[in-house]
């Protein structure tokens, strides 16, 4: 799809749509991509990112990351910073899967040690980390206790023995966004979520056993600082979010915002999917407090999943998880809105940052990073498709341009429908096994949809973020085992 002719190239990897591109734009739109990626980007991205540039209170630019593609209202890969006093909060700028995110866990095992047990490990993970639409977890909670989880996130997990203290430190915001208020959650959302803690979900959610080969290390020093110290070291990466709970929170508040946006607040938007409310309004604050519940539920979900991964490896190897070196590298959130302080035109300002399919990537020395990563910058985890590999990167000072935000994954090039027509799940499983990747899936159709052929080249995305100085490559990770939702 050709890019609009109004698109101007600002640098090697920065592209801009000026405010003249569309009536109502308050700021220009900026897209970070290589020439190859911008050429392949779907036209919906340009339309959507310029719609976002019209939202009240937006600061500097409406952004799209190199993995950007068409989404609900905002593009996936979208980033918008609003003035909290004059700006809006928009569920479409966060996504239905609130705090969908990635977690990376180390082991001190090598590929040679894991290979003979790979099938057993993946089969055990497939059993112990429930995957698929409508799956429910092993943790049984009352509605009341679920509300505590939603308010406390990983802190609840620590109390219940599902976390090591250092896990919280290696999670964005310590695994708990403060200000979550379960009284702002509908009964329906609680009912959908209370039995979903410790479940992977479906779609592009997965759990993967990966290898860090010496030839795939881009930066030795950062790799060492992030715990990649052994040749062919095995790591575990997984991707999941707030399940039906977050989905219901988003649905509830989109409905509410649509009913008040124009009538009560006189806000008009280019697309109903950009439904929003003033951040300082009652509705805006209620959504903010409810969204944080879904953020915290997702942190707790990933934490319980980590606990179960540790159990699987511990049982299989007959050794304590600590003895297997199963420490977290980091946990990153993809779909959030947060108040953060950033420099804007030489002034420190508090901004409401919407990240939708985009990763926070704090540079070296920034407040909010754990001590271990103060010198290195934040670990950034970018998931590729299950066939092609993923990246561990590091935040860098150049990220200031995007309020320290980078890409989150490959981004689709093919619709799910299209992929299912071209790929058969059973055949893909056999093909992958021949290439040394053992995969188990909850749904053959779901597996076909996630074929590597349906995604952008992760190498292009990682390279684009580095060339744009949003994050630097540390190590490329290759899959050997995968549990697919």
Using CB under 7 A, which of the segments 53-61, 108-116, 202-210, 365-373 binds DNA? 202-210
Q: Which of 17, 27, 100, 197 binds DNA (CB under 7 A)?
A: 100
State the nearest-atom distance from the C-beta of 191 to DNA, in Å: 6
**Closest CB to DNA among residues 47, 191:** 191
Largest Cα separation within the chain, whole Å, is 64
Q: Active site residue: 69, 247, 354, 408, which one?
A: 408
Footprint on residues 50-79 left by DNA (CB under 7 A): 72
State the nearest-atom distance from the C-beta of 247 to DNA, in Å: 4
Asked whether position 415 contacts DNA by CB under 7 A, the answer is no
**Closest CB to DNA among residues 68, 244:** 244
Which DSSP helix (H) or strand (E) runs through 256? helix 243-260
**Closest CB to DNA among residues 81, 386:** 386
- With a CB cutoff of 8 Å and minimum separation 6, the contacts of 51 are 22, 73, 269, 270, 271, 274
Asked whether position 205 contacts DNA by CB under 7 A, the answer is yes
Using CB under 7 A, which of the segments 203-211, 224-232, 278-286, 322-330 binds DNA? 203-211
CA torsion through residues 147, 331, 97, 31, sign: positive
The C-alpha atoms of residue 193 and residue 246 are separated, in whole angstroms, by: 8
Rg, the chain, Cα only: 21
408 is in an annotated binding site: yes
Asked whether position 196 contacts DNA by CB under 7 A, the answer is yes
- With a CB cutoff of 8 Å and minimum separation 6, the contacts of 128 are 138, 308, 311, 312
**Closest CB to DNA among residues 72, 287:** 72
Asked whether position 24 contacts DNA by CB under 7 A, the answer is no
Which DSSP string corresponds to 19-58?
GGGSTT-SS-EEEE--HHHHHHS-HHHHHHHHHHTTSTTE
| 408 belongs to the catalytic site | yes
Return the DSSP state at 314: H
Asked whether position 356 contacts DNA by CB under 7 A, the answer is no
Asked whether position 247 contacts DNA by CB under 7 A, the answer is yes
Asked whether position 241 contacts DNA by CB under 7 A, the answer is yes
The C-alpha atoms of residue 336 and residue 91 are separated, in whole angstroms, by: 9
Asked whether position 202 contacts DNA by CB under 7 A, the answer is yes
Nearest Cα residue to 373 out of 186, 256, 225: 225
Which DSSP helix (H) or strand (E) runs through 69? strand 58-69
**CB distance 132 to 292 below 8 Å:** no
Which DSSP helix (H) or strand (E) runs through 189? helix 187-193
Q: Which of 128, 188, 280, 349 binds DNA (CB under 7 A)?
A: 188
**Closest CB to DNA among residues 133, 322:** 133
239 is in an annotated binding site: yes
141 is in an annotated binding site: no
What is the four-CA torsion angle of 117, 205, 99, 67, rounded to 10 degrees?
110
**CB distance 63 to 30 below 8 Å:** yes
Using CB under 7 A, which of the segments 6-14, 122-130, 189-197, 372-380 binds DNA? 189-197
State the nearest-atom distance from the C-beta of 485 to DNA, in Å: 6
Nearest Cα residue to 232 out of 249, 247, 210: 210
The residue assigned the tokens 């990112």 is 49
Asked whether position 89 contacts DNA by CB under 7 A, the answer is no
Using CB under 7 A, which of the segments 138-146, 171-179, 236-244, 276-284 binds DNA? 236-244
Asked whether position 143 contacts DNA by CB under 7 A, the answer is no
Q: Give residues in contact with DNA (CB under 7 A).
A: 72, 96-97, 100, 133-134, 188, 191-192, 196, 201-205, 240-241, 243-244, 247-248, 485
Which residues are tagged catalytic? 408
Annotated binding site for GMP: 204-208, 334-335, 383-386, 390, 408-411, 484
């Amino acid at each position: 799809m050709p890019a609009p002719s109004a698109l101007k190239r600002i640098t090697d990897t920065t592209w801009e749509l000026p405010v003249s591109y569309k009536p109502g734009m308050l700021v220009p739109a900026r897209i970070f991509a290589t020439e190859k990626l911008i050429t392949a980007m779907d036209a919906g991205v340009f339309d959507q990112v310029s719609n976002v540039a019209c939202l009240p209170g937006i600061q500097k630019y409406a952004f799209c990351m190199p993995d950007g593609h068409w989404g609900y209202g905002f593009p996936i890969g979208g980033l918008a910073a609003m003035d909290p006093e004059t700006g809006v909060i928009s569920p479409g700028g966060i996504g239905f899967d609130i705090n969908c995110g990635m977690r990376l866990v180390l082991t001190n095992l090598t590929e040679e040690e894991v290979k003979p047990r790979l099938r057993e490990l993946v089969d055990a993970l497939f059993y112990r980390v429930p995957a698929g639409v409508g799956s429910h977890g092993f943790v049984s909670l009352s509605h009341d206790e679920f509300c505590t989880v939603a308010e406390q996130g990983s802190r609840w997990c620590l109390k219940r023995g599902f976390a090591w203290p250092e896990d919280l430190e290696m999670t964005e915001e310590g695994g708990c966004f403060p200000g979550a208020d379960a009284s702002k959650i509908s009964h329906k959302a609680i009912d959908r979520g209370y039995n979903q803690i410790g479940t992977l979900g479906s779609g592009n959610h997965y759990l993967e056993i990966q290898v860090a080969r010496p030839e795939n290390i881009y930066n030795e020093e950062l790799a060492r600082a992030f715990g990649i110290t052994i040749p062919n070291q095995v790591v575990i990466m997984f991707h999941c979010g707030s399940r039906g709970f977050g989905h219901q929170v988003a649905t509830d508040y989109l409905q509410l915002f649509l009913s008040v946006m124009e009538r009560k607040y006189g806000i008009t938007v280019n697309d109903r999917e950009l439904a929003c409310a003033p951040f300082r309004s009652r509705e805006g604050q209620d959504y903010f407090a409810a969204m944080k519940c879904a953020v915290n539920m997702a942190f707790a979900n990933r934490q319980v999943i980590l606990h179960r991964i540790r159990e699987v490896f511990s049982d299989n190897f007959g050794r304590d998880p600590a003895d297997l070196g199963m420490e977290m590298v980091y946990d990153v959130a993809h779909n959030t809105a947060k108040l953060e302080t950033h420099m804007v035109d030489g002034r420190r300002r508090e901004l409401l940052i919407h990240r939708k399919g985009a990763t926070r990537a704090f540079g070296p020395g920034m407040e909010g990073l754990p001590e271990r990563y103060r010198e290195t910058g934040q670990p950034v985890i970018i998931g590729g498709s299950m066939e092609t590999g993923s990246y561990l990167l590091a935040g860098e000072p150049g990220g200031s341009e995007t309020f320290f935000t980078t890409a989150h994954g490959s981004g689709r090039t093919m619709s799910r429908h299209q992929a299912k027509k071209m790929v058969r799940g059973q055949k893909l499983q056999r093909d992958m096994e021949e290439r040394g990747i053992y995969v188990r899936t909850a749904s053959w159709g779901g597996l076909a949809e996630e074929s590597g052929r349906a995604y952008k080249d992760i190498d292009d995305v990682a390279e684009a973020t580095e060339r744009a100085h949003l994050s630097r490559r540390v190590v490329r990770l290759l899959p050997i085992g995968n549990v697919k939702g």
